[in-house]
Each structure stands twice: as C-alpha cells, then as structure tokens.
Structure 1
Amino acid sequence: MHVSDYQVVIERLSDEDGGGYLATVPALPGCMADGETRQEALERVEGAMLTWAFMAERMGRTIPAPAKLSA
C-alpha cells in the first residue's frame, strides 16, 4: 500500500485547530495525519495508511482498493 495509490486530500488547518495541514484518505475512513507543512502531512499519512491496513486485516475487514483516477 502506497500513498500514491490512493487519493489524499490535504487541507490547511485553522489557527484555532492548531495550524499546519491535515491529510486524509477518503477511501480509508478515519485515516488521517497532520503536519506543520503539506509535505510533512503527506509523509505522515503513509504511516497512518499502513497502520489502518494492519488494523483492518486484524479485524477481518476488507481494505478498499484505490479508486481509479481518470486522466
């Protein structure tokens, strides 16, 4: 599982939410990570994806396939 296989949405967090950026993976409910920069959030979300997949397997859940992106 690689971050490049899945759509990742990166949003700027408000100062009230601590600032920085939040990266989420819509295909993997609840899979997210934050960072001070967009790059840091993206790097951290890959680790979150691996943890998400590991826990899904342990619970006997199916890991959604990446959505096909149109060119």
Structure 2
Amino acid sequence: MDKGIDYYMSLPYPIEVQLINDESGSYYFAKVPDLPGCHTDGPTAAEAVAELEIVKRDYLEVKLEIGADIPEPGALPSGTTNVRMPRTLHGQLIKDAEREKVSLNALIVYRLTQQTKEQSGVYK
C-alpha cells in the first residue's frame, strides 16, 4: 500500500485542544500529540481545529517529501527501558519483591503504575 498524503490524512489522529489565557488574552491551542511539532492556535476551538487540519496536511507533506518517519496514531513505545538506580534502592526493591513473592520487574511496574495514577488524579 502506498502511504501517501491521502493515507496519512485518513488516519484517526487524536487531537488536543486547550484554552490558553495569558497576558495577551485568550486563545485555543490545538495539537496532534502523535505528530511532534504539529500544532496551531485560533480565537475559537472550532477555528483552531480547522486550522490544525491545514497544518497537519502541510506537516505530513513535508515529512513525506524529506522521507522522514511518520508515526501512526496511537503508536506506542516498546515498553522496555533500562533504569540505573542507587545500589541501596536496587537492594531494597529486591527485598520487597521477594517479600511480596513477585518478580522485581512486576514490583517496579506495579509501583510505577500506582505513582502514575496518584499523580494523574485518579485517586484524588
């Protein structure tokens, strides 16, 4: 399949729209999170979204022209990362995992998930 401009424009890229209030007044900022640098603004949410479609087309055309990778909607990272930590923390995590009878990896994922939920307001 030829992945040209029509292909990418037809994909369901999510958009985010945010009302901004600053010293110059109020406006709406719209972006496509899956396409870094693809954003615009407008005096109303509808105008910002309409302008974003034009910006998205221009963005994708440039990426195609230069042969750059274009992420598709919702593309997620691999889920694998290496983390360096102090030896004392590593040792404590190993002990905690042994006490809970889970792998070190499972314990770390669980704790990161809990911390992320708390920070995102899920428990507030």
Structure 2 residue matching 1:14: 3-state secondary structure: strand
- Residue aligning to 2:67: 60
Structure 1 segments of 4+ aligned residues over 3 angstroms from their partners: none
Tell me if 1:42 matches 2:49: yes
Higher relative contact order (CA 8 A, sep 6+): 1
- The structure that has the greater radius of gyration is 2
TM-score, normalised with respect to structure 1: 0.82
Structure 1, unmatched stretches of 5+, are none
Quick check: 54-63 or 10-19, which moved more? Answer: 10-19
Q: Which has the higher helix share?
A: 2
- Report the RMSD for the aligned CA atoms in angstroms: 1.8
Query: Does the C-alpha gap of structure 1 residues 27 and 40 become closer, same or farther in structure 2, counting only changes over 3 Å?
Result: same
Paired-residue identity, % = 34
Q: What does residue range 2-21 of structure 1 map to in structure 2 within 5 Å?
A: 2=10, 5-16=12-23, 18-21=25-28
Aligned residues: 67
User: 1:36: how far off?
Assistant: 0.5
Gaps of 5+ in 2: 1-8, 76-124
